[in-house]
């Protein structure tokens, strides 16, 4: 499903060049749960942005479901991103003027999809069906994270990318959120990639990519 070979990303900063990723290769098959780990500055976020079609590599190849992403323009990337990739961020952003259900419907609207039954089912799954009419500012941080997980799968994506979803949580909440993400991705038959420096997750995944080890 995902094949990355000899991937590098370089940023130009004035007269200087910053090498954020250098010669990374990885292959992720259907049905795998993968963690991408590394310390700050190791290139985790850069790799996540490329896998999530938010950026393109400077060198190398990236194939997502047999699509050569390196050759996609911004419109192609946006279409693929909205249709096939769901995101869970450490600090999720919503449209604050809308309630929970309207935020989730808007995500479906972006890909011309309408499935209110799925939204209600997912809200029930995360224990927040009774909060469907709540405004975003009325939610706790834990509730926002669960709504973010729901939003990541309302369009039935092929890939869920979770960026530091547990780093701000206590141990119990960390375990609960991880179980929830894995459970929902399994039910949705989505591949799950978690990008994190949270050492509590180090042994939670059989498949790991350690960017610190690659840089040694």
- Its sign, for the CA torsion 167, 97, 103, 74, is negative
pLDDT band at 41 (very low <50, low <70, confident <90, very high): confident
The fraction of the chain above a pLDDT of 90, given in percent, is: 31
pLDDT band at 132 (very low <50, low <70, confident <90, very high): very high
Of the candidates 202, 204, 192, the residue with the CA atom closest to the CA atom of residue 212: 202
Task: Please give the tally of structural domains in the chain.
Answer: 1
The confidence score (pLDDT) of residue 40 equals 79
For 183-198, the pLDDT digits (tens) are: 888 888 888 898 888 8
Is pLDDT of 214 > 70? Answer: no
The confidence score (pLDDT) of residue 83 equals 86
The confidence score (pLDDT) of residue 216 equals 46
Domain hosting residue 35, numbered range: 2-215
For 45-71, the pLDDT digits (tens) are: 899 999 999 988 999 999 998 888 878
The confidence score (pLDDT) of residue 215 equals 56
The confidence score (pLDDT) of residue 94 equals 93
DSSP letters of 53-92? TSS--SEEEEEETTEEGGG--HHHHHHHHHHHEEEEESS-
Dihedral, CA atoms, 123, 54, 95, 111, nearest 10 degrees? -60
For 24-36, the pLDDT digits (tens) are: 998 888 777 888 8
Place of tokens 């459970």: 183
For 144-183, the pLDDT digits (tens) are: 888 998 999 888 888 999 988 877 677 888 888 888 888 8
Q: CATH number, domain at 180?
A: 3.40.50.300
Distance CA(87)–CA(184), nearest Å, equals 13
């Amino acid at each position: 499903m995902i094949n990355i070979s000899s991937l590098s990303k370089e940023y130009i900063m004035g007269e200087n060049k910053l090498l954020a990723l250098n010669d990374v290769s990885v292959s992720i098959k259907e049905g795998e749960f993968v963690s991408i780990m590394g310390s700050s500055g190791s290139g985790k976020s850069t790799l996540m942005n490329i896998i999530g079609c938010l950026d393109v590599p400077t060198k190398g190849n990236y194939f997502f479901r047999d699509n050569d992403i390196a050759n996609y323009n911004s419109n192609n990337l946006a279409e693929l991103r909205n249709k096939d990739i769901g995101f869970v961020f450490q600090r999720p952003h919503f449209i604050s003027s809308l309630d929970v259900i309207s935020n989730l419907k808007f995500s479906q609207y972006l890909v011309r999809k309408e499935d209110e039954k799925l939204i209600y089912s997912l809200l029930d799954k995360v224990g927040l069906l009774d909060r469907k009419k709540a405004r975003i500012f009325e939610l706790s941080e834990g509730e926002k994270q669960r709504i973010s997980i729901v939003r990541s799968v309302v369009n039935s994506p092929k890939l869920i990318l979770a960026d530091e979803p547990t780093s701000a949580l206590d141990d119990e909440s960390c375990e609960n959120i991880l179980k929830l993400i894995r459970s929902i991705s399994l039910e949705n038959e989505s591949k799950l990639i978690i990008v994190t420096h949270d050492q509590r997750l180090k042994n939670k995944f059989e498949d790991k990519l350690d960017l610190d080890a690659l840089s040694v």
